[in-house]
Amino acid sequence: MDYGAYLDLDRLLDAQHPVSEPVHPDELLFIVQHQTTELWFKLVLHELRSVRRYLDADDVSRARKALARVKHIFKTLAEQWSVLATLTPSEYAEFRGFLGASSGFQSHQYRAVEFILGNKNARMLEVFEAKPAARAELQDLLDTPTVYDAFLRLLARRGHDVPAAVLERDVREAWVEVPALNPTFQRIYGDTTAYWEEYATCEDLVDLEDAFQFWRFRHLRTVQRTIGFKTGTGGSSGVGFLRRALDLTFFPELYSVRTGIGD
């Protein structure tokens, strides 16, 4: 065993295959940017599954550690956009046509991250019909509780008032804000000494969402800088699609509760 063998570097470093003809010197940047993002997504999913498992086991400390790791991963991913932003519109235009219908919209790991955080959409499975393994992973995450579901169930076990409708909800559906949860979070934020672990975990979830949203924002700005308002590859609406994504939120009650704090 040596460094290269342990990391399987021969296969990893041979996985970049530019398709432009003649090969454009900046296509390698484009490939590496997206491959490293997928590697980070793989780790994000690993950690979020761990968070869910730790919360189910009432192991809040380990859940918080994993949440912190995911937050830092998204900070790293956000910073990566600054590297891709060095690709000018003229440079990208020289090889963009060779990408065909390929698009980040087709990243099943990105969809998996959204599913486990609460933004579920069963119709997305249709995009991956030709890829059984990817579809199976999304099916599993569609059918099982989200990280937020696991957290709310932990709160219920600790005696907090979580409506039965929330605990028994159809986890295949995307999370929609539940105003009836607001008093529960007001209680937690109103007495952080008594409910320190619950309060700190709420803030960890907010940290994660902020980091995720900042990554989304940097994505939007990089795309706008590189292709303006053109249609995205694969037929997506490009900047418009990314801007709408910024309106999505995973943990709406953790933001709504802030309105009444201090009143």
Q: Is 33 annotated as a binding residue?
A: yes
Which ranges in the chain belong to alpha helices (H)?
3-7, 9-12, 27-56, 60-84, 89-96, 108-117, 132-143, 147-157, 164-167, 182-190, 196-227, 239-245, 253-256
Q: Is 24 annotated as a binding residue?
A: no
Q: Is 17 annotated as a binding residue?
A: no
At residue 169, φ and ψ (nearest 5 deg) are -65, 160
Q: Is 49 annotated as a binding residue?
A: no
Q: Is 186 annotated as a binding residue?
A: no
At 103, which helix (H) or strand (E)? Answer: none
Q: Is 86 annotated as a binding residue?
A: no
Q: Is 31 annotated as a binding residue?
A: yes
111 CB neighbour count, 10 Å cutoff:
24
At residue 219, φ and ψ (nearest 5 deg) are -60, -50
At residue 163, φ and ψ (nearest 5 deg) are -55, 145
As annotated, the binding site includes 30-34, 92, 96, 219, 233
As annotated, the binding site for heme includes 219
As annotated, the binding site for substrate includes 30-34, 92, 96, 233
